Structure 1
Amino acid sequence: MIKIENIHKSFGDKTILEGITGEFYKGKPNLIIGASGTGKSVLLKCIVGLIPPDQGHVYYDDLEFTGAHRDTKTEIRRQIGMLFQGGALFDSKTVEENVRFPLDVLTKMPLSEKVDRVNFCLERVGLAGQNDKMPSELSGGMKKRVGIARAIVNSSKYLFCDEPNSGLDPQTSILIDDLIMDITEEYNTTTIVVTHDMNSVLGIGEHILFLYQGHKLWQGSKDEITESGVKEFDDFVFANKVMQRLKRN
């Protein structure tokens, strides 16, 4: 579990996050949703430690992360897997080298064991035998799957996905959503997904936190969306043309 308490963040005179509190659970996808510019990615970066909050605390299980000693932060970061919005693959490295990168940096595992682990993860994301391909030879969906393989190669306890379906066609988006769901349940990870894709919300939104102008206005599951009672949330859903289909059904 990851818990955040009273997270505030400003850049200059601009307030981005104001008093965000919430919990993210093991074994299920936890979604942070909202329109562009609402602070989703900033909140994710505060949780991961890429930027420090101005106020508040982040807890990984029972460990306070925000003010922790460097060694404690390093140990927690070893257990984090990250899927970046654009895939963030190294263009000069092969698929195998990209997936192996966290093992090269964070472990002293023998090369043969690293390769075995890479092969296992590539097979898990449906890319067995693609080891020697370069990123330029991959489709957008394949790049995202390589990114997922890299995120789980170090047996991560915590998985973060920043707009995993950005730029993908609907069919590939469903494949990525299903893969994130399966891996989360199989490895009992604490998974946090930042998205504005309502199809993803309806597909894997077991626990949802809605941000609006830097405030948390609603949280719940995909089954509770139609009864939120929050105007800003309903407006967001209507804008994505999903609520109409839900109500027709």
Structure 2
Amino acid sequence: MIEVKNLTKSFEDKTVLNDISATFEQGKTNLIIGASGSGKSVMLKNIVGLFKPDSGEILYNGRDFINANRDLKTEIRREIGMLFQGGALFDSMNVEQNVKFPLDVLTTMPEDEKLDRVNTVLKRVKLENTNKRMPSEISGGMQKRVGIARAIVNSSKYLFCDEPNSGLDPQTSIKIDQLLAEITDEYQITTVVVTHDMNSVMEIGEYIVFIGNTKKLWEGNSDDIMHSGVQELDDFVFANKMMRKFRSLS
């Protein structure tokens, strides 16, 4: 579980996040949604330590991440897996090397154990026998699955995904959503996904935080979102529907 309490973040004189609280539970797909520029990616970067909040608390299973000493921060960071927008694979490394990278950097695991673990997670994301292929030789959807494999190869307790469906066609997006949901439940990971994709929201949104105008304007699940009573959220949902309709006609 990750608890965010009264998180505030500004850049110079511009407040991006103002007193936001949320609880992301273990074994659930937790989503942060909002319009472009709403601060959802800034919130994610604060949670994982890429930005330091102006005020507030971030607790990983009760452990204070912001004020942690170096050893505790290192311990928590080793428990975090990241799926970056676009996959962010190393072009000069093959699939096996990309997935093994966190084990090389963060562990002293013997090489044969590393390879066993790499093959296990590649099988889990249905990419067996792709070890020696280069990122340029596989599709965008496969690259995202390699990214997921890399994010969980170190037995991560927390999985963060920044726009995991960016650049993917609708069918591939659905498969990525399903895979994230399956892995979250199977491994009981605390998964936090930043997205603007309403298909993802409706398919895997077990807990959803909607951010707008620097604040948390709504929280709930996919069953409740169509009846939120929040105008900004209704506008966001409507805009997404119109965008999907436009794309289907183009």
The answer to whether TM tops 0.5 is yes
Paired residues, number: 243
How far apart are residue 238 of structure 1 and its match? 1.0
- C-alpha distance in 2, partners of 1:70/1:36? 34
- For 1:225, the equivalent position in structure 2 comes to 225
Asked if 2 retains the 8 angstrom alpha-carbon contact of 1:47 and 1:58, the reply is yes
How far apart are residue 13 of structure 1 and its match? 1.4
| TM-score, length of structure 1 as denominator length | 0.96
Gaps of 5+ in 2: 246-250
Give structure 1 regions of 4+ aligned residues with deviation exceeding 6 angstroms: none
- C-alpha distance in 2, partners of 1:99/1:233? 37
How far apart are residue 146 of structure 1 and its match? 0.2
The residue correspondences of 1:1-249 to structure 2 (distance < 5 A) are 1-241=1-241
1:128 is paired with a residue whose SS is coil
* 1:166-212 C-alpha deviation (Å, 9 max, x unpaired): 00000000000000000000000000000000000000001000000
- C-alpha distance in 2, partners of 1:106/1:3? 25
- C-alpha distance in 1, partners of 2:17/2:184? 27
- C-alpha distance in 2, partners of 1:57/1:44? 13
2:171 is paired with a residue whose SS is helix
Asked if 2 retains the 8 angstrom alpha-carbon contact of 1:37 and 1:213, the reply is no
| TM-score, length of structure 2 as denominator length | 0.96
In structure 2, give the amino acid aligned to 1:230. V
* 1:88-134 C-alpha deviation (Å, 9 max, x unpaired): 11110110000000000111111011001000000100100000001
In structure 2, give the amino acid aligned to 1:163. E
2:92 is paired with a residue whose SS is coil
Asked if 2 retains the 8 angstrom alpha-carbon contact of 1:99 and 1:150, the reply is yes
Gaps of 5+ in 1: none
